[in-house]
Amino acid sequence: MYWIYSAILGLGLLLSMPYWLWQALRHGKYRAGLGERLGGVPARLGSKPGRTIWVHAVSVGEVLAVSGLVPLLRQRFPEHRVLVSTTTDTGQKLARARFEAENVFYFPLDFGFAVRRYMQALKPELVVLAETEFWPNFLRAAQDSGARVVVVNARISDRSLPGYRRAKRFFRRILQAVDLFLTQTWEDKKRLHAIGVAAERVEVSGNLKFDVPMPDPPPIVAQLRSTFQYGGTHPVLVCGSTVTGEEPLLLSAFQQVLASYPQAVMLLAPRHPERFGEVAQLLQSLGVRFWKRSAWKGEQLRGGVFLLDSIGELAALYALADIAFVGGSLVPRGGHNILEPAMYGAAIVVGNHTENFRDIVWLFQNEDAVRIVGPAELPIVWMELLADEADRHALGRRALETLRSQMGATQKTLEALQKLLQPVESKVSR
């Protein structure tokens, strides 16, 4: 089975090579860390010998999810190195900022030769995977090496569930390599059981993303707050993690806001860095007044769009929002995390495509802590919230209260990992 999987993986990589080369040449993607992805263990990981805990977080969302857990692991297991791997460049950048670059590396491609090199070099006692990273060769190599394997913040999305069910026999065997699943919800536990995971290997610990610590604000936050205050900028709409097809809808709604609030500004943050130039061209073609974050020199911002063509600053900028819109939701992309604006008590608006965060959005909707709209309703809801300050502030307050009511998953996860690692510690001490 693993030979067949590896052959299919290799063939798929070979056939898709023109795409990866095009992305690398045009957008600079996938070039960073290529040697590490192919099994080249960076020398910096071997500079501090010792027992190892390996945490894998695919991208920015997963890095944020484990950002409270990693420091607690270091505190609880001071004799261990806690190393963090990511798949995406944006996740790598954030992880290096949060966990120090010497502890962070790119996750290897799921070829036996690549993952075995890491297992041999790092000899992890515990492997912690965030959410749904079910790589067959990696899981097999981790099991063969003697590491305990845990999937934390585990979830099975609506989109992926049918595929897992169709390949149930395949995944049942692969997932036997996982010692413990710590799921976000009871529904996720039921779904794991439905695809063949024994109930005794699944516990519900809650969603780590509710416990994400508030980031230290980058200098841009204070700079923009001062600019808005002295320039009379109002209101401020922060539209984050937008995807292809959303910006025209948002800009159309923003034109209606400008008609009543000519001093308004929209902070627009595309989800993917390779789209920064594309969105700038869109703004220019529509004749929208805009400023680029990368070229901004502190001039007044009002009556236009501030294009956030940077990485790692969006979360803190929600603190400036009168209204926060979270993207990937006006078009069928499944939505993105609404907890970042909730952390600042912002009034949150999303589109009606939020399948990727169904449980969080459902919870907030039940608490009247989010507004869900289609493209036609978006400008109407924006205008209603801007006209009613008390309603807008109450919506943001309920969002913050809802977030706080769900905290505690990080501590539950830590306790479960501690129990799992104790047999290893006892064996080592003997």
Residue 144: both structure tokens together:
């063969």
Instruction: Enumerate the CATH 3.40.50.11720 domain ranges in the chain, comma separated.
Output: 47-206+408-429
Share in percent of the chain as helix, strand, coil (round to 5): 55, 15, 30
Over residues 229-256, the mean pLDDT reads 97
Instruction: Report whether 427 contacts 396 (CB < 8 A).
Output: no
Q: How far apart are CA 210 and CA 195, in angstroms?
A: 27
Residue 278: both structure tokens together:
């594309």
Q: How far apart are CA 66 and CA 354, in angstroms?
A: 22
Over residues 290-319, the mean pLDDT reads 95
Class of 219-405 in CATH = alpha beta
For residue 430, what pLDDT is reported? 47
User: Residues with Cβ < 8 Å from 124, sequence gap 6 or more?
Assistant: 52, 53, 54, 83, 142, 145, 147
Longest dimension (CA), the chain: 74
Instruction: Enumerate the CATH 3.40.50.2000 domain ranges in the chain, comma separated.
Output: 219-405
Q: Is the pLDDT of residue 428 over 60?
A: no
Per-residue pLDDT tens over the stretch 109-136: 999 999 999 999 999 999 999 998 899 9
Over residues 386-400, the mean pLDDT reads 98
Q: Is the pLDDT of residue 108 over 50?
A: yes
Q: What is the CATH number of domain 47-206+408-429?
A: 3.40.50.11720
Sheet holding 290-292, edge to edge: 290-292, 304-307, 265-270, 236-242, 323-326, 347-351, 371-373
Residue 174: both structure tokens together:
């692969």
For the entire predicted model, the pTM comes to: 0.85
Place of tokens 């502190």: 298
Q: How far apart are CA 43 and CA 121, in angstroms?
A: 10
Active site positions, annotated: 62
Q: How far apart are CA 353 and CA 83, in angstroms?
A: 35
Mean pLDDT score across all residues of the chain: 92
